[in-house]
Structure 1
């Protein structure tokens, strides 16, 4: 079943099951009615989903809507994976510490947000990522260089596979240098997109970056945030799956496939059986599992080639003397980039978010509490007169502790053109999903899109 027909079928089933989709635009009050009755499943239609992140949860929801009983297996002690929201009602502060931004052209995640009766609000720092001549001073990129980038991005849309393979052999920084951008302009672009990708543009294929910049679904074009935090998506999906089995703190050790059955062995000694599997784990985690029969070589090679950018997002609570609305600053400190979202500005206290990437992210992931506090305190000195408040003025969020992986967003280095394509077809009774497998990666939209693609093939 192709994607379009699958979505049409799901829409009809969803309406019949009692989920009334809101018809008003984002930002308006709507109502959602969710049926408490569990959809009838056909005999033997049991599915197992590996991974309790956004892609896994949405895959489970889609499977449930098509008549499967679903079991979700998550190695962590919480659902959500790379999505996490800090919320402090007493301080009047909400801030995402994982997936945060949604692009205007990201139709899949926008549709899901609307179906869940959630709202999108415009992010106050979206202008920072807009490559336009009117934005040249803010970006520290000349108007002539922006014009060059516009032409290159537009040209990319018409390139054939052979030409794209050629672009894939060099990193984007080198390509931008060849196109005439100065070192300062390239450094500015690095500062800008590192907070989304978790790595410098000299680590990423020029084809991968240009493909993103030319696409409406690009993670590099943030526009919105979920009102109340992105974790509300996870909570709403978990609520819709409350009649399904969700196993937390379980690690998959082995997957065996027979003609019409799959068997999953867990580290606890428990064994599960089902009709099929949707595997929404990062590629590196897939390689940690013992597969019978063994994984095809092209999947193994692809998994080894994929990389992930490291990102660490943390909060500092301050009482500023001036307004921090629209605040965004790149620094050379360990904390690297600071910004403030509107929802993180409380009546008396503001939470400044810092994004560290690469090796600097590792300092916050692996450092002791004392080391992290010292790093953050010294980094904040660059911001000027900031009065730290509260008995504990910092909130450190460990993405690595939450997910068990050091990476955050999938990256495709030079020489990786087409390596994710091999995951599009099922491995017998196993269907693959995940942010890293969508046509345009690195976003909540890609997680949702990959789930649709995987389940439509079951």
Structure 2
């Protein structure tokens, strides 16, 4: 089996709610007078999924209208620039472009964007102890965790699930004993396998970007299948990003959709009929009705479940929309006057930690100095804890934790900014994560076409920019097949 990245590991690993505003003042609106009405497509959501779908359908001659609640494109792709000095920037949302992300890379080439490969993680800070990654691996050092292997930071949990891995001969025909894992959490499975609690804790810390939910929420079937598909992932991950900011990619898509893209439209109600969809959106306090013979919903289920849905939507799809799990994620970008992490004797530039900050790394490798930014990606309960704090408290806590890792940091601190995605009204969570009882059916259910309604987004594919774009491509193909045959 081939070795895959952590991001690849993750990818492989009622009806509605708020009552819509009174519609007596709603204005009916046809978004095009084109004669080929069957080629009209309304798309909700201008994240990478909706943008890709709209872009490809427009190229194929469809009459597209794309509406977005925000006043910018990109969804969970969010690059911050204004809070920082000297031209620095930081990715506060989706970040990684793996070597295998062929669709992201294809569009980057098409739009003349460069993918920059990040430096590897070079330090570990766990239980108040420090290790240089090279020394840790070369000399087979052992972490102060029960049950771990020498020189091994990742994948210590694998030996405890080996009995289930050995049962799998055909991933498309799983034995009953493996399928039964859908009803367990990863934490329950590890207890069943007699794994020490330290193994679960270490997995939780080192997989901050792969699992934004707690181990007792992680689906055990998805967890095991992720290990089956991989010979094992490691800290040697090729984690790239777009030079100059990831937001350039959605902006390039949006530039190609100038006449089709409308911002500041918050969808309040969707009514599905056999040959027409009705969508009510709010703009500047006014409710407007749009009708379309075909609809693409490219908004997170965490938001869709709080939108009023009417019409014939199958019960299993309704259940998926209501219950699909989303995690907690918070990113902190911290500006320092000097890049002390590059100094001789420093622990390193990219560090795995068991602190509230989880994963901390130098973000400014392609940016001018001497100032620089350290970025923290934290998830699960730690993100929830920080998210409940005021911004000033988050920064105070971050400053304290950074100083624990790099004792020289405090004298260079200048400030920072955070983004807690669970308090974003247009996201209300991180990315989707399959919970207990959801691995066997929910991903396919989320993606399933329902008559004239199509569904795109990372929740239908894989929790990454690549997954979002892949879903947009899939849905554009579905629409073309449904209309053109």
What interval of TM-score do these two structures reach, taking the shorter chain for normalisation? 0.7 to 0.9
Q: Which residue of 2 aligns with 1:225?
A: 241
CA distance in 2, matches of 1:322, 1:428: 55
Q: Which residue of 1 aligns with 2:170?
A: 158
Give the C-alpha shift of residue 55 in structure 1. Answer: 0.9
Give the C-alpha shift of residue 360 in structure 1. Answer: 3.2
Give the C-alpha shift of residue 222 in structure 1. Answer: 5.3
CA distance in 2, matches of 1:344, 1:379: 25
Secondary structure class of the residue paired with 1:309: coil
Secondary structure class of the residue paired with 2:352: strand
Q: Which residue of 1 aligns with 2:477?
A: 456
Q: Structure 1 residue aligned with 2:304, among 282, 286, 291? A: 286
User: Given the superposition, is the C-alpha separation of residues 154 and 394 from structure 1 closer, same or farther in structure 2, using an over 3 Å criterion?
Assistant: farther
> Per-residue displacement from partner, 1:387-446 (whole Å, max 9, x unpaired)?
3557x61122343454533311211112112123223332221100110111xx211111
Count of residues paired in the alignment: 412
Secondary structure class of the residue paired with 1:49: strand
Q: Which residue of 1 aligns with 2:130?
A: none
Q: Structure 2 residue aligned with 1:328, among 348, 351, 365? A: 351
Secondary structure class of the residue paired with 1:57: helix
> Per-residue displacement from partner, 1:148-174 (whole Å, max 9, x unpaired)?
379676875734244442222222234
- Answer whether contact 2:213 2:381 (CA < 8 A) is retained: no
> Per-residue displacement from partner, 1:185-205 (whole Å, max 9, x unpaired)?
332221111233212333211
CA distance in 1, matches of 2:99, 2:139: 18
Give the C-alpha shift of residue 271 in structure 1. Answer: 1.6
Q: Structure 1 residue aligned with 2:257, among 228, 235, 241? A: 241
> Per-residue displacement from partner, 1:81-100 (whole Å, max 9, x unpaired)?
11111347953533211111
User: Given the superposition, is the C-alpha separation of residues 65 and 455 from structure 1 closer, same or farther in structure 2, using an over 3 Å criterion?
Assistant: same
Q: Which residue of 2 aligns with 1:15?
A: none
Note the 1:309-324 alignment, pairs <5 A: 309-318=327-336, 319-323=338-342
CA distance in 1, matches of 2:378, 2:56: 35
Q: Which moved more, 1:206-215 or 1:184-193?
A: 206-215
User: Given the superposition, is the C-alpha separation of residues 410 and 288 from structure 1 closer, same or farther in structure 2, using an over 3 Å criterion?
Assistant: same
Is 1:435 the counterpart of 2:443 in the alignment?
A: no
Note the 1:19-418 alignment, pairs <5 A: 43-44=36-37, 45-87=39-81, 91-125=86-120, 141-142=148-149, 145=156, 148=159, 158-159=170-171, 160-163=173-176, 164-176=178-190, 178-179=192-193, 181-215=195-229, 223-244=239-260, 246-267=261-282, 268-318=286-336, 319-323=338-342, 326-333=349-356, 335-343=357-365, 346-383=368-405, 384-387=407-410, 389=412, 393-400=415-422, 402-416=424-438, 417-418=440-441
> Per-residue displacement from partner, 1:302-352 (whole Å, max 9, x unpaired)?
12321111101011112243417532131334x343222353764111211
TM-score by length of 2: 0.75
> Per-residue displacement from partner, 1:109-130 (whole Å, max 9, x unpaired)?
3323333222222221368999
CA distance in 2, matches of 1:293, 1:56: 23
CA distance in 2, matches of 1:436, 1:219: 23
CA distance in 1, matches of 2:400, 2:204: 23
RMSD: 3.5
User: Given the superposition, is the C-alpha separation of residues 403 and 289 from structure 1 closer, same or farther in structure 2, using an over 3 Å criterion?
Assistant: closer
- Answer whether contact 2:116 2:242 (CA < 8 A) is retained: yes
CA distance in 2, matches of 1:65, 1:444: 21
CA distance in 2, matches of 1:328, 1:415: 34
Secondary structure class of the residue paired with 1:343: coil
User: Given the superposition, is the C-alpha separation of residues 189 and 137 from structure 1 closer, same or farther in structure 2, using an over 3 Å criterion?
Assistant: farther
User: Given the superposition, is the C-alpha separation of residues 370 and 105 from structure 1 closer, same or farther in structure 2, using an over 3 Å criterion?
Assistant: closer
User: Given the superposition, is the C-alpha separation of residues 205 and 393 from structure 1 closer, same or farther in structure 2, using an over 3 Å criterion?
Assistant: same
- Answer whether contact 2:161 2:193 (CA < 8 A) is retained: no
Give the C-alpha shift of residue 180 in structure 1. Answer: 6.2
Structure 1 unaligned spans of 5+ = 1-39
Q: Which residue of 1 aligns with 2:7?
A: none
Give the C-alpha shift of residue 455 in structure 1. Answer: 1.9
User: Given the superposition, is the C-alpha separation of residues 156 and 91 from structure 1 closer, same or farther in structure 2, using an over 3 Å criterion?
Assistant: farther
Secondary structure class of the residue paired with 1:270: strand
Structure 2 unaligned spans of 5+ = 1-32, 125-132, 480-485
- Answer whether contact 2:214 2:381 (CA < 8 A) is retained: no
CA distance in 1, matches of 2:199, 2:304: 38
TM-score by length of 1: 0.79
